A and B are shown apart, each in its own frame.
Chain A
Amino acid sequence: MTDTQHDALRAYLGRSPTDEERAIFEDQRTRVEFGVMSHPLWDERETRTGLAARAPFEAGQSA
Protein backbone atom coordinates (compact mmCIF):
# COMPACT_ATOMS: atom_id res chain seq x y z
CA MET A 1 0.00 0.00 0.00
CA THR A 2 1.38 3.38 -0.93
CA ASP A 3 1.45 6.27 1.52
CA THR A 4 -1.20 7.99 -0.58
CA GLN A 5 -3.48 4.97 -0.38
CA HIS A 6 -2.88 4.68 3.36
CA ASP A 7 -3.78 8.33 3.81
CA ALA A 8 -6.91 7.90 1.70
CA LEU A 9 -8.07 4.92 3.74
CA ARG A 10 -7.22 6.72 6.96
CA ALA A 11 -9.33 9.69 5.89
CA TYR A 12 -12.18 7.40 4.89
CA LEU A 13 -12.25 5.51 8.20
CA GLY A 14 -11.48 8.53 10.37
CA ARG A 15 -8.72 6.54 12.08
CA SER A 16 -5.67 4.54 11.14
CA PRO A 17 -6.63 1.36 9.31
CA THR A 18 -5.88 -1.95 10.96
CA ASP A 19 -3.49 -4.36 9.29
CA GLU A 20 -6.49 -6.42 8.16
CA GLU A 21 -8.19 -3.38 6.65
CA ARG A 22 -4.98 -2.46 4.82
CA ALA A 23 -4.78 -5.99 3.43
CA ILE A 24 -8.44 -5.88 2.32
CA PHE A 25 -7.90 -2.54 0.63
CA GLU A 26 -4.77 -3.72 -1.20
CA ASP A 27 -6.35 -7.00 -2.28
CA GLN A 28 -9.46 -5.28 -3.54
CA ARG A 29 -7.55 -2.57 -5.35
CA THR A 30 -5.37 -5.09 -7.16
CA ARG A 31 -7.92 -7.80 -7.88
CA VAL A 32 -10.88 -5.62 -8.81
CA GLU A 33 -8.93 -3.12 -10.84
CA PHE A 34 -7.52 -5.99 -12.86
CA GLY A 35 -10.86 -7.77 -13.15
CA VAL A 36 -12.78 -4.75 -14.33
CA MET A 37 -10.14 -3.16 -16.52
CA SER A 38 -9.61 -6.43 -18.39
CA HIS A 39 -13.28 -7.43 -18.54
CA PRO A 40 -14.11 -9.62 -21.56
CA LEU A 41 -17.16 -7.54 -22.54
CA TRP A 42 -14.99 -4.46 -23.05
CA ASP A 43 -13.88 -5.81 -26.41
CA GLU A 44 -17.54 -6.00 -27.53
CA ARG A 45 -18.24 -2.29 -27.28
CA GLU A 46 -19.80 -0.72 -30.33
CA THR A 47 -18.07 2.63 -30.18
CA ARG A 48 -14.32 2.60 -29.88
CA THR A 49 -12.25 5.68 -29.44
CA GLY A 50 -9.30 4.15 -31.21
CA LEU A 51 -6.96 5.18 -28.42
CA ALA A 52 -5.84 1.63 -27.80
CA ALA A 53 -5.85 0.55 -31.43
CA ARG A 54 -3.55 3.23 -32.86
CA ALA A 55 0.07 2.96 -31.96
CA PRO A 56 1.35 6.53 -31.72
CA PHE A 57 4.74 6.05 -33.31
CA GLU A 58 3.85 3.83 -36.24
CA ALA A 59 4.56 5.07 -39.72
CA GLY A 60 1.90 7.49 -40.84
CA GLN A 61 1.06 8.67 -37.34
CA SER A 62 2.20 12.15 -36.60
CA ALA A 63 1.41 14.82 -34.07
Chain B
Amino acid sequence: MTIAKLLSDLEAGRVTSRALVDQAEARIAAAGTASPFSTVELDNARAQAEAVDAARAAGAALGPLAGVPLAHKDMFERQGARMGRGAHPSAAYVAENTAEVLSRLDGAGAVDLGRLQMSEFAMGPTGMNHHHGAPPNPVVPGAIIGGSSSGSGVAVAMGIVPAALGSDTGGSIRLPAACNGVVGIKPTPGRVPMSHTMPLSWTQDCVGPLAASVDCARRVLSVLTGGATRAETQETGPLRLGFDAGDFACDLSPDMAQVLDEERKALVLAGHADRDLDLGWLGTLDEPANVIAMGEAATVHADRLRAHADSYGDQVRTRLVQGAAISAQAYLRARQIRDIAQGKIAEVFRDVDVIVLPMLPDVPPQIDALARLEGASLAGMISAMTRFARPASVLGLPAISLPVAWTDRGPLSLQLVGAPCSEDVLADLARTLETASLRVPEPA
Protein backbone atom coordinates (compact mmCIF):
# COMPACT_ATOMS: atom_id res chain seq x y z
CA MET B 1 0.00 0.00 0.00
CA THR B 2 1.50 3.31 -1.07
CA ILE B 3 0.16 6.84 -0.79
CA ALA B 4 0.43 7.31 -4.55
CA LYS B 5 -1.74 4.24 -5.21
CA LEU B 6 -4.30 5.25 -2.60
CA LEU B 7 -4.55 8.78 -4.00
CA SER B 8 -4.90 7.37 -7.51
CA ASP B 9 -7.72 5.07 -6.40
CA LEU B 10 -9.44 7.85 -4.46
CA GLU B 11 -9.22 10.31 -7.32
CA ALA B 12 -10.51 7.74 -9.81
CA GLY B 13 -13.44 6.89 -7.56
CA ARG B 14 -12.37 3.26 -7.16
CA VAL B 15 -12.52 3.64 -3.40
CA THR B 16 -13.64 6.19 -0.84
CA SER B 17 -11.74 7.36 2.18
CA ARG B 18 -14.56 6.06 4.36
CA ALA B 19 -14.11 2.60 2.79
CA LEU B 20 -10.36 2.77 3.55
CA VAL B 21 -11.16 3.45 7.21
CA ASP B 22 -13.51 0.47 7.25
CA GLN B 23 -10.82 -1.72 5.69
CA ALA B 24 -8.31 -0.59 8.29
CA GLU B 25 -10.80 -1.30 11.07
CA ALA B 26 -11.25 -4.84 9.77
CA ARG B 27 -7.49 -5.39 9.61
CA ILE B 28 -6.98 -4.07 13.13
CA ALA B 29 -9.73 -6.32 14.45
CA ALA B 30 -8.33 -9.33 12.58
CA ALA B 31 -4.88 -8.69 14.07
CA GLY B 32 -6.24 -9.17 17.60
CA THR B 33 -3.42 -9.05 20.13
CA ALA B 34 -0.93 -8.55 17.29
CA SER B 35 -2.43 -5.12 16.62
CA PRO B 36 0.12 -2.31 16.94
CA PHE B 37 -2.54 0.19 18.08
CA SER B 38 -2.79 1.48 21.63
CA THR B 39 -5.91 3.53 20.87
CA VAL B 40 -8.12 3.31 17.80
CA GLU B 41 -10.06 6.51 17.15
CA LEU B 42 -12.57 5.38 14.55
CA ASP B 43 -15.19 8.04 15.22
CA ASN B 44 -12.69 10.77 14.51
CA ALA B 45 -11.31 8.87 11.51
CA ARG B 46 -14.74 8.33 9.97
CA ALA B 47 -15.64 11.98 10.42
CA GLN B 48 -12.40 13.06 8.73
CA ALA B 49 -12.84 10.51 5.92
CA GLU B 50 -16.43 11.48 5.22
CA ALA B 51 -15.50 15.16 5.14
CA VAL B 52 -12.79 14.45 2.55
CA ASP B 53 -15.14 12.25 0.49
CA ALA B 54 -17.75 15.00 0.51
CA ALA B 55 -15.21 17.64 -0.49
CA ARG B 56 -13.95 15.43 -3.30
CA ALA B 57 -17.47 14.82 -4.56
CA ALA B 58 -18.09 18.57 -4.53
CA GLY B 59 -14.98 19.20 -6.60
CA ALA B 60 -13.26 21.16 -3.86
CA ALA B 61 -9.50 21.64 -3.76
CA LEU B 62 -7.93 18.89 -1.69
CA GLY B 63 -4.71 18.57 0.25
CA PRO B 64 -1.79 16.35 -0.79
CA LEU B 65 -2.82 13.53 1.56
CA ALA B 66 -6.58 13.86 1.10
CA GLY B 67 -8.34 10.76 2.36
CA VAL B 68 -5.19 8.77 3.16
CA PRO B 69 -5.41 6.87 6.46
CA LEU B 70 -2.45 7.27 8.80
CA ALA B 71 -1.79 6.44 12.45
CA HIS B 72 0.85 7.76 14.83
CA LYS B 73 3.04 7.00 17.78
CA ASP B 74 1.21 7.54 21.05
CA MET B 75 3.03 10.76 21.92
CA PHE B 76 1.30 13.39 19.79
CA GLU B 77 -1.47 15.32 21.49
CA ARG B 78 -4.88 15.73 19.91
CA GLN B 79 -7.35 17.86 21.81
CA GLY B 80 -9.80 15.63 23.67
CA ALA B 81 -7.95 12.40 22.88
CA ARG B 82 -6.10 10.08 25.25
CA MET B 83 -2.32 10.31 25.33
CA GLY B 84 -0.66 7.13 26.60
CA ARG B 85 3.08 7.54 25.89
CA GLY B 86 3.68 3.81 26.29
CA ALA B 87 3.64 4.30 30.02
CA HIS B 88 1.82 2.90 33.03
CA PRO B 89 -1.92 3.61 32.60
CA SER B 90 -1.77 6.14 35.45
CA ALA B 91 0.41 8.37 33.24
CA ALA B 92 -2.24 8.67 30.51
CA TYR B 93 -4.16 11.91 30.16
CA VAL B 94 -6.63 13.63 27.87
CA ALA B 95 -4.89 16.27 25.79
CA GLU B 96 -6.00 19.89 25.85
CA ASN B 97 -4.15 20.85 22.68
CA THR B 98 -3.31 19.41 19.28
CA ALA B 99 0.25 18.87 18.15
CA GLU B 100 1.24 21.06 15.22
CA VAL B 101 2.30 18.00 13.23
CA LEU B 102 -1.21 16.56 13.53
CA SER B 103 -2.73 19.92 12.56
CA ARG B 104 -0.56 19.97 9.44
CA LEU B 105 -1.56 16.42 8.50
CA ASP B 106 -5.22 17.33 9.14
CA GLY B 107 -4.78 20.33 6.86
CA ALA B 108 -3.36 18.06 4.16
CA GLY B 109 -6.48 15.90 4.36
CA ALA B 110 -4.94 12.87 6.08
CA VAL B 111 -7.21 10.66 8.16
CA ASP B 112 -6.00 9.83 11.68
CA LEU B 113 -6.84 6.26 12.73
CA GLY B 114 -5.37 6.55 16.22
CA ARG B 115 -2.30 5.99 18.31
CA LEU B 116 0.32 3.28 18.00
CA GLN B 117 2.28 1.42 20.63
CA MET B 118 5.70 2.64 21.64
CA SER B 119 8.48 2.01 24.12
CA GLU B 120 7.76 3.44 27.56
CA PHE B 121 8.25 7.22 27.31
CA ALA B 122 10.18 6.59 24.06
CA MET B 123 13.04 4.95 25.93
CA GLY B 124 14.06 1.57 24.57
CA PRO B 125 15.54 0.53 21.23
CA THR B 126 14.15 -3.01 21.22
CA GLY B 127 10.47 -2.02 21.23
CA MET B 128 9.68 -4.20 24.25
CA ASN B 129 7.37 -2.45 26.70
CA HIS B 130 7.33 -3.28 30.42
CA HIS B 131 3.66 -2.37 30.80
CA HIS B 132 2.08 -3.34 27.51
CA GLY B 133 4.32 -5.95 25.88
CA ALA B 134 4.76 -5.58 22.13
CA PRO B 135 3.15 -6.88 18.96
CA PRO B 136 5.09 -9.49 16.99
CA ASN B 137 7.33 -8.53 14.11
CA PRO B 138 5.10 -8.91 11.03
CA VAL B 139 7.92 -9.57 8.55
CA VAL B 140 10.61 -11.42 10.53
CA PRO B 141 9.17 -14.12 12.79
CA GLY B 142 10.67 -13.98 16.27
CA ALA B 143 12.62 -10.77 15.71
CA ILE B 144 12.37 -7.64 17.79
CA ILE B 145 10.31 -4.81 16.31
CA GLY B 146 12.71 -2.07 17.33
CA GLY B 147 11.91 1.09 19.21
CA SER B 148 10.92 3.40 20.37
CA SER B 149 8.49 4.03 17.48
CA SER B 150 7.69 0.31 17.56
CA GLY B 151 4.01 0.37 16.66
CA SER B 152 4.67 2.78 13.79
CA GLY B 153 7.08 0.33 12.18
CA VAL B 154 4.69 -2.58 12.68
CA ALA B 155 1.60 -0.74 11.40
CA VAL B 156 3.37 0.20 8.18
CA ALA B 157 4.89 -3.25 7.71
CA MET B 158 1.45 -4.84 8.22
CA GLY B 159 0.05 -2.60 5.50
CA ILE B 160 -2.57 -1.04 7.76
CA VAL B 161 -1.28 2.43 6.92
CA PRO B 162 1.22 3.63 4.30
CA ALA B 163 2.95 5.91 6.79
CA ALA B 164 2.99 6.71 10.50
CA LEU B 165 4.65 9.36 12.59
CA GLY B 166 7.43 8.41 14.94
CA SER B 167 10.04 10.29 16.92
CA ASP B 168 13.79 9.87 16.94
CA THR B 169 16.15 10.87 19.74
CA GLY B 170 18.81 8.19 19.35
CA GLY B 171 17.44 6.09 16.49
CA SER B 172 13.79 5.65 17.42
CA ILE B 173 12.51 6.12 13.87
CA ARG B 174 15.35 4.42 12.03
CA LEU B 175 15.69 1.33 14.23
CA PRO B 176 12.05 0.17 14.02
CA ALA B 177 12.12 1.01 10.32
CA ALA B 178 15.09 -1.34 9.89
CA CYS B 179 13.59 -4.06 12.10
CA ASN B 180 10.32 -4.07 10.16
CA GLY B 181 11.73 -3.58 6.68
CA VAL B 182 10.25 -0.13 6.05
CA VAL B 183 11.62 3.35 5.37
CA GLY B 184 12.24 5.89 8.13
CA ILE B 185 13.31 9.52 7.89
CA LYS B 186 14.85 11.36 10.83
CA PRO B 187 14.84 15.02 9.79
CA THR B 188 17.16 17.79 10.84
CA PRO B 189 16.17 19.02 14.32
CA GLY B 190 13.96 22.07 14.05
CA ARG B 191 12.59 21.29 10.59
CA VAL B 192 9.45 19.67 11.97
CA PRO B 193 7.59 21.47 14.78
CA MET B 194 7.60 19.74 18.15
CA SER B 195 4.74 21.57 19.88
CA HIS B 196 2.53 19.33 22.02
CA THR B 197 4.63 16.25 21.41
CA MET B 198 6.13 14.30 24.28
CA PRO B 199 9.70 15.47 24.99
CA LEU B 200 12.54 13.16 25.88
CA SER B 201 15.83 14.93 25.09
CA TRP B 202 14.93 18.35 23.78
CA THR B 203 18.20 19.01 21.98
CA GLN B 204 17.99 15.75 20.02
CA ASP B 205 14.26 15.00 19.63
CA CYS B 206 12.90 14.91 16.06
CA VAL B 207 9.56 13.91 14.54
CA GLY B 208 9.42 12.15 11.20
CA PRO B 209 7.70 9.42 9.19
CA LEU B 210 8.06 5.68 8.97
CA ALA B 211 6.62 4.62 5.63
CA ALA B 212 6.12 1.91 3.07
CA SER B 213 8.43 3.57 0.56
CA VAL B 214 10.71 6.54 0.13
CA ASP B 215 7.98 8.26 -1.87
CA CYS B 216 5.45 7.76 0.95
CA ALA B 217 7.90 9.04 3.54
CA ARG B 218 8.80 12.20 1.65
CA ARG B 219 5.16 13.05 0.89
CA VAL B 220 4.44 13.00 4.63
CA LEU B 221 7.66 14.81 5.51
CA SER B 222 6.84 17.56 3.04
CA VAL B 223 3.56 18.20 4.86
CA LEU B 224 5.30 18.11 8.24
CA THR B 225 7.91 20.65 7.14
CA GLY B 226 5.27 22.94 5.63
CA GLY B 227 6.71 22.41 2.16
CA ALA B 228 10.32 23.05 3.14
CA THR B 229 11.16 19.60 1.78
CA ARG B 230 10.11 18.28 -1.63
CA ALA B 231 7.35 15.72 -2.02
CA GLU B 232 8.65 14.66 -5.45
CA THR B 233 11.82 12.86 -6.47
CA GLN B 234 14.31 14.66 -8.70
CA GLU B 235 17.41 13.43 -10.44
CA THR B 236 20.28 14.13 -8.12
CA GLY B 237 23.12 14.20 -10.62
CA PRO B 238 26.39 12.66 -9.54
CA LEU B 239 26.86 12.78 -5.78
CA ARG B 240 30.01 12.36 -3.69
CA LEU B 241 29.34 9.42 -1.40
CA GLY B 242 31.42 8.69 1.67
CA PHE B 243 31.98 5.18 3.08
CA ASP B 244 33.77 4.45 6.32
CA ALA B 245 37.16 2.84 5.86
CA GLY B 246 38.05 3.32 9.52
CA ASP B 247 36.83 1.30 12.46
CA PHE B 248 33.32 2.69 12.78
CA ALA B 249 31.33 0.63 10.25
CA CYS B 250 32.89 -2.60 11.43
CA ASP B 251 31.77 -5.82 13.10
CA LEU B 252 29.19 -6.34 10.37
CA SER B 253 27.64 -9.66 9.51
CA PRO B 254 28.91 -11.19 6.25
CA ASP B 255 25.51 -10.47 4.67
CA MET B 256 25.58 -6.80 5.66
CA ALA B 257 29.19 -6.38 4.59
CA GLN B 258 28.35 -7.89 1.21
CA VAL B 259 25.28 -5.71 0.72
CA LEU B 260 27.19 -2.56 1.65
CA ASP B 261 29.89 -3.49 -0.86
CA GLU B 262 27.37 -4.31 -3.59
CA GLU B 263 25.45 -1.09 -3.09
CA ARG B 264 28.66 0.91 -3.23
CA LYS B 265 29.56 -0.69 -6.57
CA ALA B 266 26.07 -0.15 -7.89
CA LEU B 267 26.06 3.52 -6.92
CA VAL B 268 29.41 4.05 -8.65
CA LEU B 269 28.08 2.31 -11.74
CA ALA B 270 25.16 4.72 -11.62
CA GLY B 271 27.59 7.63 -11.89
CA HIS B 272 28.17 8.63 -8.28
CA ALA B 273 31.66 9.09 -6.88
CA ASP B 274 32.73 7.09 -3.85
CA ARG B 275 35.30 8.05 -1.29
CA ASP B 276 36.81 6.34 1.74
CA LEU B 277 36.45 8.21 5.02
CA ASP B 278 37.96 7.58 8.42
CA LEU B 279 34.91 7.85 10.63
CA GLY B 280 36.29 5.95 13.59
CA TRP B 281 35.82 9.03 15.76
CA LEU B 282 32.04 8.71 15.41
CA GLY B 283 32.33 5.71 17.70
CA THR B 284 33.51 7.98 20.50
CA LEU B 285 30.24 9.90 20.49
CA ASP B 286 28.22 7.26 22.36
CA GLU B 287 29.18 8.60 25.76
CA PRO B 288 28.46 12.30 25.17
CA ALA B 289 25.28 11.40 23.27
CA ASN B 290 24.11 9.31 26.18
CA VAL B 291 25.03 11.97 28.73
CA ILE B 292 23.04 14.61 26.83
CA ALA B 293 20.06 12.34 26.21
CA MET B 294 19.80 10.90 29.70
CA GLY B 295 20.65 14.15 31.45
CA GLU B 296 17.81 15.87 29.60
CA ALA B 297 15.44 12.91 30.05
CA ALA B 298 16.12 12.84 33.78
CA THR B 299 15.16 16.51 33.90
CA VAL B 300 12.00 15.98 31.81
CA HIS B 301 10.88 13.19 34.14
CA ALA B 302 11.96 14.72 37.46
CA ASP B 303 8.50 15.78 38.65
CA ARG B 304 6.70 12.58 37.71
CA LEU B 305 9.47 10.33 39.00
CA ARG B 306 9.49 12.08 42.38
CA ALA B 307 5.78 11.42 42.77
CA HIS B 308 5.45 8.04 41.05
CA ALA B 309 8.88 6.41 40.83
CA ASP B 310 7.50 2.90 41.03
CA SER B 311 5.11 3.40 38.13
CA TYR B 312 8.10 3.26 35.76
CA GLY B 313 9.35 0.01 34.30
CA ASP B 314 12.65 -1.22 35.72
CA GLN B 315 14.73 -0.48 32.64
CA VAL B 316 13.39 3.04 32.19
CA ARG B 317 13.78 3.87 35.88
CA THR B 318 17.35 2.56 35.75
CA ARG B 319 18.13 4.85 32.83
CA LEU B 320 16.62 7.82 34.65
CA VAL B 321 18.70 7.08 37.74
CA GLN B 322 21.71 7.03 35.44
CA GLY B 323 20.60 10.40 34.12
CA ALA B 324 20.23 11.78 37.64
CA ALA B 325 23.84 10.81 38.31
CA ILE B 326 25.14 13.10 35.57
CA SER B 327 26.67 16.25 36.97
CA ALA B 328 26.15 19.66 35.45
CA GLN B 329 29.81 19.72 34.46
CA ALA B 330 29.56 16.38 32.65
CA TYR B 331 26.41 17.46 30.80
CA LEU B 332 27.95 20.73 29.71
CA ARG B 333 31.22 19.05 28.69
CA ALA B 334 29.17 16.62 26.58
CA ARG B 335 27.56 19.64 24.89
CA GLN B 336 30.99 21.10 24.25
CA ILE B 337 32.17 17.82 22.74
CA ARG B 338 29.11 17.83 20.52
CA ASP B 339 30.09 21.29 19.28
CA ILE B 340 33.55 20.02 18.41
CA ALA B 341 32.12 16.97 16.67
CA GLN B 342 29.71 19.12 14.66
CA GLY B 343 32.71 21.10 13.43
CA LYS B 344 34.44 17.88 12.38
CA ILE B 345 31.42 16.52 10.55
CA ALA B 346 30.96 19.86 8.76
CA GLU B 347 34.48 19.36 7.38
CA VAL B 348 33.54 15.86 6.22
CA PHE B 349 30.56 17.29 4.35
CA ARG B 350 32.84 19.64 2.46
CA ASP B 351 34.22 16.54 0.74
CA VAL B 352 31.12 14.36 0.45
CA ASP B 353 27.40 14.94 -0.01
CA VAL B 354 26.14 11.80 1.71
CA ILE B 355 27.62 9.28 4.14
CA VAL B 356 26.44 5.71 3.55
CA LEU B 357 26.35 3.52 6.65
CA PRO B 358 24.73 0.29 7.76
CA MET B 359 21.62 0.86 9.88
CA LEU B 360 22.07 -2.32 11.90
CA PRO B 361 25.11 -4.63 11.85
CA ASP B 362 22.89 -7.42 10.53
CA VAL B 363 19.23 -8.35 10.16
CA PRO B 364 17.09 -7.47 13.22
CA PRO B 365 18.05 -9.58 16.23
CA GLN B 366 15.81 -12.34 17.52
CA ILE B 367 13.94 -11.80 20.79
CA ASP B 368 15.25 -15.14 22.10
CA ALA B 369 18.82 -14.05 21.52
CA LEU B 370 18.28 -10.91 23.57
CA ALA B 371 16.43 -12.82 26.29
CA ARG B 372 19.41 -15.14 26.76
CA LEU B 373 21.68 -12.19 27.53
CA GLU B 374 22.03 -10.19 30.69
CA GLY B 375 24.26 -7.57 32.23
CA ALA B 376 27.22 -6.49 30.14
CA SER B 377 26.38 -8.91 27.31
CA LEU B 378 22.90 -7.46 26.91
CA ALA B 379 24.22 -3.91 27.11
CA GLY B 380 26.81 -4.80 24.47
CA MET B 381 24.22 -6.16 22.06
CA ILE B 382 21.97 -3.12 22.51
CA SER B 383 24.97 -0.86 22.07
CA ALA B 384 25.85 -2.64 18.82
CA MET B 385 22.27 -2.24 17.66
CA THR B 386 22.21 1.52 18.24
CA ARG B 387 25.84 2.19 17.25
CA PHE B 388 25.12 3.43 13.75
CA ALA B 389 22.08 5.49 14.77
CA ARG B 390 23.73 7.62 17.44
CA PRO B 391 25.95 9.95 15.38
CA ALA B 392 23.16 11.49 13.29
CA SER B 393 21.19 12.11 16.48
CA VAL B 394 23.86 13.78 18.53
CA LEU B 395 25.22 15.73 15.55
CA GLY B 396 21.79 16.99 14.48
CA LEU B 397 21.92 15.49 11.00
CA PRO B 398 19.10 14.18 8.82
CA ALA B 399 19.18 10.47 8.04
CA ILE B 400 17.15 7.90 6.13
CA SER B 401 16.97 4.20 6.93
CA LEU B 402 15.79 1.96 4.13
CA PRO B 403 15.85 -1.76 3.39
CA VAL B 404 18.03 -2.58 0.40
CA ALA B 405 18.09 -6.38 0.52
CA TRP B 406 16.07 -9.20 1.98
CA THR B 407 17.60 -12.42 3.25
CA ASP B 408 15.82 -15.49 4.58
CA ARG B 409 16.70 -14.11 8.04
CA GLY B 410 15.18 -10.68 7.47
CA PRO B 411 15.84 -7.29 5.86
CA LEU B 412 19.18 -5.54 5.62
CA SER B 413 18.92 -1.77 5.83
CA LEU B 414 21.31 1.01 5.01
CA GLN B 415 21.39 4.52 6.41
CA LEU B 416 22.05 7.66 4.39
CA VAL B 417 23.27 10.59 6.46
CA GLY B 418 23.62 14.13 5.14
CA ALA B 419 24.47 17.65 6.20
CA PRO B 420 21.77 19.63 8.02
CA CYS B 421 18.70 20.29 5.84
CA SER B 422 19.78 17.84 3.11
CA GLU B 423 16.62 15.72 3.37
CA ASP B 424 15.78 16.21 -0.32
CA VAL B 425 19.14 14.92 -1.52
CA LEU B 426 18.96 11.98 0.87
CA ALA B 427 15.48 11.06 -0.31
CA ASP B 428 16.46 11.38 -3.97
CA LEU B 429 19.39 9.03 -3.43
CA ALA B 430 17.31 6.67 -1.33
CA ARG B 431 14.80 6.45 -4.16
CA THR B 432 17.50 5.24 -6.52
CA LEU B 433 18.65 2.64 -3.98
CA GLU B 434 15.07 1.51 -3.69
CA THR B 435 14.81 0.65 -7.37
CA ALA B 436 15.65 -2.82 -8.53
CA SER B 437 17.50 -1.41 -11.53
CA LEU B 438 20.51 -0.64 -9.38
CA ARG B 439 21.46 -4.26 -8.66
CA VAL B 440 25.00 -5.06 -9.71
CA PRO B 441 24.92 -7.37 -12.73
CA GLU B 442 26.33 -10.83 -12.26
CA PRO B 443 29.88 -11.21 -13.60
CA ALA B 444 29.91 -12.62 -17.12
Chain A interfacial positions (CB closer than 8 Å to B): 8-9, 11-15, 17, 21, 24-26, 28-29, 32-33, 35-37, 39-42, 44-46
Inter-subunit contact B281/A41 (CB<8 Å): yes
Tally of chain B residues near chain A (CB < 8 A) = 31
Q: List 12 A-B contacts (CB under 8 A).
A: A11-B306, A12-B305, A12-B321, A14-B309, A24-B321, A24-B325, A25-B321, A29-B327, A32-B287, A37-B333, A42-B337, A46-B343
Nearest CB in chain B to that of A40: its residue: B284
Inter-subunit contact B291/A36 (CB<8 Å): yes
Inter-subunit contact B288/A39 (CB<8 Å): yes
Q: How far is the CA of A4 from the CA of B317 in the complex (A)?
A: 21
Q: Which of B288, B307, B321, B337 contacts A9 (CB 8 A)?
A: B321
Inter-chain contacts of B369 with A (CB < 8 A): none
Evaluate whether A41 and B341 lie within 8 angstroms (CB atoms) in the complex, with A14-B305, A32-B290, A36-B334 already known: yes
Q: How far is the CA of A41 from the CA of B288 in the complex (A)?
A: 11
**A33 CB to nearest chain B CB (Å):** 5
Inter-subunit contact B321/A13 (CB<8 Å): yes
Inter-chain contacts of A24 with B (CB < 8 A): 318, 321-322, 325
Inter-chain contacts of A13 with B (CB < 8 A): 305-306, 309, 321
Q: How far is the CA of A12 from the CA of B343 in the complex (A)?
A: 35
Q: Which of A14, A32, A41, A42 contacts B291 (CB 8 A)?
A: A32
Interface flag for B326 (CB, 8 Å)? yes
Q: Which of A14, A17, A32, A41 contacts B307 (CB 8 A)?
A: A14
Inter-chain contacts of B317 with A (CB < 8 A): 21
**A14 CB to nearest chain B CB (Å):** 4
Number of A-B contacts (CB under 8 A): 86
Interface flag for B4 (CB, 8 Å)? no
- What 1/0 mask marks residues of chain B from 286 to 330 whose CB sits below 8 Å from any chain A CB? 011011000000100010011111000000011001101111011
Q: How far is the CA of A35 from the CA of B287 in the complex (A)?
A: 7
Excluding A13-B321, A28-B322, A42-B333, 6 further A-B contacts by CB distance (< 8 Å) are A12-B306, A12-B324, A17-B321, A32-B326, A37-B329, A39-B337
Inter-chain contacts of B325 with A (CB < 8 A): 9, 24-26, 28-29, 32
Q: Is the interface of A mostly helix, strand, loop or mixed?
A: helix
Inter-chain contacts of B322 with A (CB < 8 A): 24-25, 28, 32
Chain B interfacial positions (CB closer than 8 Å to A): 281, 284, 287-288, 290-291, 298, 302, 305-309, 317-318, 321-322, 324-327, 329-330, 333-334, 336-337, 340-341, 343-344
**B25 CB to nearest chain A CB (Å):** 42
Inter-chain contacts of A25 with B (CB < 8 A): 321-322, 324-325
Q: Which of A9, A15, A39, A46 contacts B287 (CB 8 A)?
A: A39
Inter-subunit contact B336/A42 (CB<8 Å): yes
Inter-chain contacts of A35 with B (CB < 8 A): 287
Inter-chain contacts of B336 with A (CB < 8 A): 42, 45
**A7 CB to nearest chain B CB (Å):** 12
**B82 CB to nearest chain A CB (Å):** 26
Q: How far is the CA of A37 from the CA of B287 in the complex (A)?
A: 10
Inter-chain contacts of B288 with A (CB < 8 A): 36, 39
Inter-chain contacts of B330 with A (CB < 8 A): 32-33, 36-37
**B254 CB to nearest chain A CB (Å):** 31
Inter-subunit contact A9/B305 (CB<8 Å): no
Inter-subunit contact A42/B305 (CB<8 Å): no
Q: How far is the CA of A33 from the CA of B308 in the complex (A)?
A: 28
Inter-chain contacts of A12 with B (CB < 8 A): 298, 302, 305-306, 321, 324
Q: How far is the CA of A37 from the CA of B337 in the complex (A)?
A: 10
Inter-subunit contact A8/B324 (CB<8 Å): yes
Interface centre among B305, B318, B330, B344 (most CB of A within 10 A): B330
Q: Which of B305, B318, B324, B340 contacts A45 (CB 8 A)?
A: B340
Interface centre among A8, A24, A32, A42 (most CB of B within 10 A): A32
Q: How far is the CA of A49 from the CA of B309 in the complex (A)?
A: 42
Inter-chain contacts of A41 with B (CB < 8 A): 281, 284, 337, 340-341, 344
Evaluate whether A44 and B340 lie within 8 angstroms (CB atoms) in the complex, with A17-B321, A36-B334 already known: yes
Evaluate whether A44 and B344 lie within 8 angstroms (CB atoms) in the complex, with A29-B327, A32-B290 already known: yes
Inter-chain contacts of A28 with B (CB < 8 A): 321-322, 325-326
Inter-chain contacts of B309 with A (CB < 8 A): 13-15
Inter-chain contacts of B307 with A (CB < 8 A): 14
Nearest 5 interchain pairs by C-beta: A14-B306, A28-B325, A28-B322, A35-B287, A29-B325
Q: How far is the CA of A24 from the CA of B307 in the complex (A)?
A: 20
